[in-house]
């Protein structure tokens, strides 16, 4: 990896149960809880600060989870819509269904942006993929906009710069990352992203498929190299600086957490390489940088 610093961090495995497709780790800085999902089980999982593990089985495939401002409920993106989950009762309430049952499509990677809206992309489930992926922006009242439509296969890699003025977005099947100018000041009513993105990076096979991502407090972009067994860290100008090698062949998404936001949590999916099978899991390692507090949906 010419010019890229290869780092082997001191990684620890945090759970003793397998994940089929682990995704969407999300740190709650108010409680010290860590949320994640298993797409195919399907379930939303909360690792409580107390050490308790709560698993909420879902009625349909789940793509991701997001925190809400009121702190009592979370958002979950399922095959058949975006729902509000009450972790205390397990009750689900439909907020909206932006994908409206489209064939060969499901909700995938999603995060709350600096505008207080839930940005949720889809994955093209056709074989072979046809490029039908979309990106939606869901507002607190349940209304939504279609932001990107078509010529994409697997929406992923959502993250924002520390000042909220840049939005990263990957197509895992591209495989590439694009960056959009973002205007958080327009709020819910306006159109916050630029019409045309700029290419940030095209990925090689060894770098892995660009999956889920996070941004640190210095504005550096961390993205899982799924299939490459690594996290890739980029400078804001698109230079790959570091590759963090992981025990998981297929990491799916990082997030920053811990008391000072300097711990990286990474989910992974199950893989088979010849006769060798590896379950998906949840890993963590400590870093010398800090992350950003997660945006919350303004219910």
Asked whether the beta carbons of 277 and 268 are under 8 A apart, the reply is: no
User: 198, 195, 152, 201: which is closest to 174 by C-alpha?
Assistant: 152
Contact between residue 83 and residue 44 where contact means Cβ atoms under 8 Å apart: no
- The strand pairing partners of 254, in sequence order, are 266
Catalytic entry in 28, 211, 237, 273: 211
Dist CA 54 CA 156 (whole Å): 26
Contact 49, 279 (CB under 8 A): no
The pair of three-digit structure tokens given for residue 267, joined into one six-digit string: 């989910």
* Active site (annotated) includes residue 211: yes
Find the Cα–Cα–Cα–Cα dihedral 206, 240, 109, 196, rounded to 10°. Answer: -120
Residue carrying the six token digits 């082997």: 8
**For residue 108, which of 63, 150, 152 has the smallest C-alpha distance?**
63
Would you please indicate which residues are annotated as catalytic (active-site) residues?
Answer: 211
């Amino acid at each position: 990896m010419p010019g890229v610093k290869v780092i082997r961090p001191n990684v620890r495995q945090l759970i003793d149960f397998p994940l089929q497709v682990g995704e969407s780790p999300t740190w709650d800085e108010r409680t010290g809880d860590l949320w994640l999902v298993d797409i195919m089980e399907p379930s939303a999982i909360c690792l409580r600060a107390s050490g308790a593990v709560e698993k909420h089985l879902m009625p349909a495939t789940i793509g991701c989870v997001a925190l809400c401002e009121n702190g009592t409920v979370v958002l979950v993106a399922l095959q058949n819509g975006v729902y509000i989950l009450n972790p205390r009762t397990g009750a689900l309430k439909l907020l909206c269904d932006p994908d409206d049952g489209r064939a060969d499509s499901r909700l995938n990677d999603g995060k709350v942006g600096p505008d207080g809206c839930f940005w949720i992309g889809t994955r093209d489930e056709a074989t072979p993929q046809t490029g039908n992926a979309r990106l939606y922006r869901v507002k607190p009242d349940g209304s939504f906009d279609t932001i990107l439509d078509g010529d994409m296969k697997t929406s992923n890699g959502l993250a924002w710069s520390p000042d909220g003025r840049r939005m990263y977005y990957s197509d895992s099947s591209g495989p590439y990352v694009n960056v959009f100018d973002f205007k958080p000041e327009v709020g819910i009513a306006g159109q916050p992203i630029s019409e045309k993105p700029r290419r940030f990076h095209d990925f090689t096979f060894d770098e892995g498929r660009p999956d889920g991502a996070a941004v640190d407090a210095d504005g550096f972009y961390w993205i899982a190299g799924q299939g490459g067994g690594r996290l890739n860290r980029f400078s804001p100008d698109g230079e790959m600086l570091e590759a963090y090698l992981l025990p998981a062949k297929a990491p799916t998404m990082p997030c920053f957490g811990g008391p000072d936001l300097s711990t990286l949590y990474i989910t992974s999916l199950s893989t088979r390489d010849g006769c060798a099978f590896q379950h998906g899991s949840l890993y963590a390692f400590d870093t010398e940088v800090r992350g950003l507090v997660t945006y919350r949906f303004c219910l």
